[in-house]
């Protein structure tokens, strides 16, 4: 990519993302040490909750949002082959989001916003935290607008042609995020900011949790879609083959976006404020949304098989051996899929009402999302960074061998960290707690798993540091003459000449989402205005 302006914009976003990431990794290691209770000197609930809140916000909101924005700009400029629409606005969005992060960081780091990343009231933070988080979201809306404008402009200028798959996926994610963030925006604007500023005395936690549930499921697909984008548009080419099907990829993305939204109550199964029938409806939707992930897994594995066979792989599984395991993108997708098997299985367990009762609010849940988010999703963020860094900096990757080591250690560390958490959850260890030192037979049984999680955390921290070292070393190399790598998009095995409008546009799907949201959230939200509720006074800051 020799468009300097886009390079600079993307690199700035990606560096904010990865700076947040590395800081959060150090906090994560402190947290496993503190939680284990093995080092009494570390025991401090206030410090633990300040740390875990900052860790969650940095990983779930800052790393993801800035990565997605930076990656989106690269995709838009390179796949549509046109400069970013309104570069000034893009920098404005970046500045606003960054300012929001700094504003929120002050109360977070001083223990005045220890409300965790799900900030469930009645615990309440300093208003600066909510205002900062709002600015981060508004900054990301700017990105959504730019992506959707570029998508529509390209369509207008190229009537009847299929929008490049990479841009289709990115625009899908922008649309998803606008819908997703509306729930938490309502909660923050009408409930949390007024409460934290003392404008209202009480808050209804049931309504707040309902609004947060609107956001909480689709946000995880907002994080995931960039990884799926890389699965579809980079991996087949890097593996030396073709994408199994462009149309199936689009259909999977559409089902993912549409069904990600109306299903958030699987986070509220054990809550009293919603009735069983609504939970059942959201539960059914949750099983529907697992299908596009299965389809994505199928498409990616089929694409890998095409590549493996083109490389001479024979027999039922011989193609796996002939895959280029030393290509960072290919290795990352294999490791990501392996983690997805158990991470997804955990999700299905969570989604099954009766089993949710067994694991809800236990260490199982952080085990689930560290594996599927920290593992499957983030390992692809690494691979994307390794792929893009040479194009963004104009310098070759510092060391492929180090990058491969980093990916393997991240995978191994994540398995060592999250397997014990799943077991600890089944052994009854609660989540969202500082240390538990009951010293009875139950907690003694936890100890070997806690040792393992500390070790897993160290492996991950080492891997994270290695990641940053590789990026910095790459960027600090002297400029290489005549080094101009370009982004190579995968070709589908059957070229796509024309597409029905519903696979090339979101107008219809936007309407479908509006109807599904009205059905699944209309009455559950409106009920709060028709029943007598008493509210709860703020607790915390």
Whether 48 sits among the annotated catalytic residues: the reply is no
My answer on whether omega of the bond before 122 falls inside 30° of 0, hence cis, is: yes
Q: Does position 279 bind Cu ion by CB under 5 A?
A: no
Catalytic residue among 345, 432, 458, 489: 432
Rule CB under 6 A: choose which of 36, 350, 406, 435 binds ligand HAS.
Answer: 350
Q: Does position 220 bind ligand HAS by CB under 6 A?
A: yes
Kindly indicate which of the ranges 76-84, 333-341, 411-419, 466-474 contains the residues binding ligand HAS, using the contact rule CB under 6 A.
Answer: 333-341
Distance, in Å, from the CA atom of 411 to the CA atom of 404, rounded to the nearest integer, reads 11
Question: Which residues inside 298-317 make contact with ligand HAS, applying CB under 6 A?
Answer: 301, 304
Q: Does position 377 bind ligand HAS by CB under 6 A?
A: yes
| Tally of residues, the chain | 541
Whether 267 sits among the annotated catalytic residues: the reply is no
Largest Cα–Cα separation, the chain: 71
Q: Does position 367 bind ligand HAS by CB under 6 A?
A: no
Distance, in Å, from the CA atom of 341 to the CA atom of 325, rounded to the nearest integer, reads 19
For residue 42, what is the DSSP state?
Answer: G
Distance, in Å, from the CA atom of 322 to the CA atom of 210, rounded to the nearest integer, reads 49
**CA-wise closest residue to 397 among 407, 387, 406, 405:** 387
Which among ligand HAS, Cu ion, none contacts residue 499 (Cβ within 5 to 8 A by kind)?
A: none
Catalytic residue among 209, 267, 422, 431: 431
N-to-C CA span, the chain: 48
Q: Is 308 helix (H, G, I), strand (E, B) or coil?
A: helix
Shortest Å distance, C-beta 507 to ligand HAS: 26
Q: Does position 55 bind Cu ion by CB under 5 A?
A: no
Q: Does position 282 bind Cu ion by CB under 5 A?
A: no
The pattern of x and - marking residues 202 through 221 that bind Cu ion according to CB under 5 A reads ---------------x----
- For ligand HAS, the closer of residues 80 and 289 by Cβ is 289
Q: Does position 356 bind ligand HAS by CB under 6 A?
A: yes
| Phi, psi (deg, nearest 5) at residue 364 | -55, -40
Rule CB under 6 A: choose which of 102, 348, 480, 508 binds ligand HAS.
Answer: 348
Q: Does position 155 bind Cu ion by CB under 5 A?
A: no
Whether 266 sits among the annotated catalytic residues: the reply is no
Neighbour-count burial for 317-327, b at 16+ CB within 10 Å, e otherwise: eebeebbeeeb
Whether 502 sits among the annotated catalytic residues: the reply is no
- For Cu ion, the closer of residues 216 and 470 by Cβ is 216
Catalytic residue among 7, 250, 368, 422: 368
Question: Which residues inside 231-290 make contact with ligand HAS, applying CB under 6 A?
Answer: 266-267, 286, 289-290
Rule CB under 6 A: choose which of 52, 124, 137, 372 binds ligand HAS.
Answer: 372
Give 3-state DSSP helix, strand, coil % of the chain, rounded to 5: 75, 0, 25
Whether 130 sits among the annotated catalytic residues: the reply is no
Q: Does position 334 bind ligand HAS by CB under 6 A?
A: yes
Q: What is the residue-wise DSSP string for 320-341? A: HHHS-TTSHHHHHHHHHHHHHH
Tokens standing for residue 253: 């993305």
**CA-wise closest residue to 264 among 210, 345, 189, 184:** 210
* Alpha-carbon separation of residue 137 from 93, 142, 256, 538 (angstroms): 9, 9, 22, 24
**Bridge-partner residues for 243, per DSSP?**
492
Residues near Cu ion (CB under 5 A): 217
Residues near ligand HAS (CB under 6 A): 118, 216, 220, 223-224, 266-267, 286, 289-290, 293-294, 297, 301, 304, 320, 334, 337-338, 340-341, 344, 347-348, 350-351, 356, 360, 365, 368-369, 372-373, 377
Q: Which of the residues are catalytic?
A: 217, 221, 368-370, 431-432
């Amino acid at each position: 990519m020799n468009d300097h302006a886009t390079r600079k914009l993307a690199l700035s976003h990606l560096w904010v993302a990865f700076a947040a990431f590395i800081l959060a990794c150090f906090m994560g290691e402190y947290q496993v040490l503190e939680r284990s209770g093995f080092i009494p000197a570390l025991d401090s609930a206030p410090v633990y909750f300040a740390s875990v809140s900052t860790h969650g916000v940095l990983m779930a909101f800052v790393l993801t949002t800035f990565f997605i924005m930076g990656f989106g700009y690269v995709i838009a400029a390179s796949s549509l082959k046109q400069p970013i629409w309104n570069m000034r606005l893009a920098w404005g969005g970046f500045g606003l989001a960054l300012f929001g992060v700094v504003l929120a960081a002050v109360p977070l780091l001083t223990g005045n916003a220890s409300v965790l990343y799900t900030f469930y009231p009645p615990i309440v933070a300093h208003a600066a935290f909510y205002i900062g988080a709002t600015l981060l979201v508004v900054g990301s809306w700017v990105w959504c607008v730019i992506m959707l404008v570029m998508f529509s402009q390209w369509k207008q200028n190229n009537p009847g042609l299929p929008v490049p798959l990479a841009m289709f996926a990115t625009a899908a994610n922008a649309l998803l995020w606008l819908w997703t963030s509306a729930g938490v925006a309502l909660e923050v604007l009408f409930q949390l900011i007024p409460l934290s500023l003392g404008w209202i005395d009480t808050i209804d936690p049931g309504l707040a949790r309902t609004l947060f549930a609107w956001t909480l499921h689709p946000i995880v697909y907002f994080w995931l879609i960039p990884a799926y984008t890389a699965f579809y548009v980079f991996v087949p080419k890097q593996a030396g083959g073709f994408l199994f099907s462009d149309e199936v990829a689009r259909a999977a993305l559409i089902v993912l976006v549409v069904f990600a939204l109306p299903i958030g109550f699987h986070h509220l199964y054990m809550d009293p404020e919603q009735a069983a029938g609504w939970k059942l409806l959201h539960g059914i939707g949750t099983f529907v949304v697992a299908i596009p992930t299965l389809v994505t897994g199928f498409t990616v594995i089929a694409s890998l098989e095409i590549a493996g066979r083109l490389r001479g792989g024979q027999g039922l599984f011989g193609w796996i051996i002939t895959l280029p395991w030393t290509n960072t993108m290919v290795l990352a997708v294999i490791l990501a899929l392996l983690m997805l098997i158990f991470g997804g299985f955990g999700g299905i367990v969570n989604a099954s009402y009766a089993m949710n009762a067994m694991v809800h609010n236990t260490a199982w849940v952080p085990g689930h999302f560290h594996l599927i988010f920290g593992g499957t999703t983030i390992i692809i963020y690494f691979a994307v960074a390794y792929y893009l860094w040479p194009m963004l900096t104009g310098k070759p990757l510092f060391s492929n061998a180090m990058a491969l080591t980093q990916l393997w250690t991240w995978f191994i560390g994540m398995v060592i960290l999250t397997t014990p958490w799943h077991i600890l959850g089944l052994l009854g260890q609660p989540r969202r707690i500082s240390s538990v030192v009951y010293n009875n037979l139950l907690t003694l049984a936890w100890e070997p798993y806690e040792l393992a999680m500390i070790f897993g955390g160290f492996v991950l921290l080492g891997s994270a540091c290695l990641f940053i070292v590789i990026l910095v070393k790459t960027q600090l190399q002297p400029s290489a003459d005549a080094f101009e790598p370009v982004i190579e998009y995968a070709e589908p095995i059957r070229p796509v000449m024309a597409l029905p409008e519903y696979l090339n546009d979101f107008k219809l799907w936007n309407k479908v989402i509006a109807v599904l949201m009205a059905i699944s959230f209309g009455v559950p939200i409106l009920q709060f205005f028709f029943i007598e509720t008493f509210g709860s006074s703020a607790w915390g800051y």
